[in-house]
Amino acid sequence: MRMKKIIFCLYLIFTLSVPLLAEEPDTEKPQESSKEVRVDESELIVDEDTAFESSQWFAFHYRLGNYVPSKTLGVNGNFQAFYTGQTALWHELVAEFQPVSRYGILGARGIVGYQRITSSGANTARFENVSLHGGAIYHFKYTRHQVFVPFIEGGGSYYWLKQERQNPYNRTRRGFFGSAGIQLNLNAFEKKTADRFDLNYGINNTYITVEYKYINTPTAGVLDLSGQFFLAGFSMDF
């Protein structure tokens, strides 16, 4: 009888110990690596159509030309004798507000201009022209990285005209202007750099521009500045 009890006890111990001997699953979490991960920007692939682009509202433009108005006689009748053939750089700084950019870009422009011409010879004269212009411009731009962007603009002008050193005078004149030109979009040639400029500085586009300009001062008399000339410059959209 005792032998049976011993056998039964051994059997019971064996039966209860089998589950405990089974291998437990490894629940230890893999050790996370503390090594820093670096990403090379040059290896990133950016979809150009979905890349970041900030909103565009403004533009800044500088342009330069050379113009001696052929119809100007001067108050004393000596304008052409003094200034024909001289360097007559025409500078313009332009600030543009662009409220419409859905179908092309429609903007309003304010322009400040300055010109100085110095005559040759021992008794030099100097003619200065300070001008303000206001008007509208339309850019034929329909895609983000459009290479060539034609534009047309027009508006009104106000001029302060002054001659110094010989036969001095001061006068003001009014008129209007129109121009047409083309912008070369530099962003189209280096799109990744352009996207970084937009992201970091808010510069949407950078252009080189060439344009034809016509000005008219119909009631200016002997100080008629009417004529046409070319300008070149650069501009940036913000």
What average pLDDT is seen over the chain? 83
Nearest to 215 by CA among 138, 135, 118, 97: 135
Share of the chain above pLDDT 70, in %: 75
Cα→Cα distances 95→92, 170, 211, 228, 232, Å: 10, 27, 17, 22, 16
Query: What residues contact residue 2 under an 8 Å CB cut-off, 6+ apart?
Result: none
Q: What is the predicted pLDDT for the residue at 196?
A: 75
Higher-scoring residue by pLDDT: 39, 183: 183
> For residue 2, is pLDDT > 80?
no
pLDDT level of residue 188 (50, 70, 90 thresholds):
confident
pLDDT of the residue at 49: 47
Rounded distance, CA 97 to CA 105, Å?
10
């508006």: which residue's tokens? Answer: 155
Give the Cα separation of 72 and 69 in Å (integer).
6
User: What pLDDT is recorded for position 50?
Assistant: 46
Domains and CATH numbers, the chain: 59-237 (2.40.160.20)
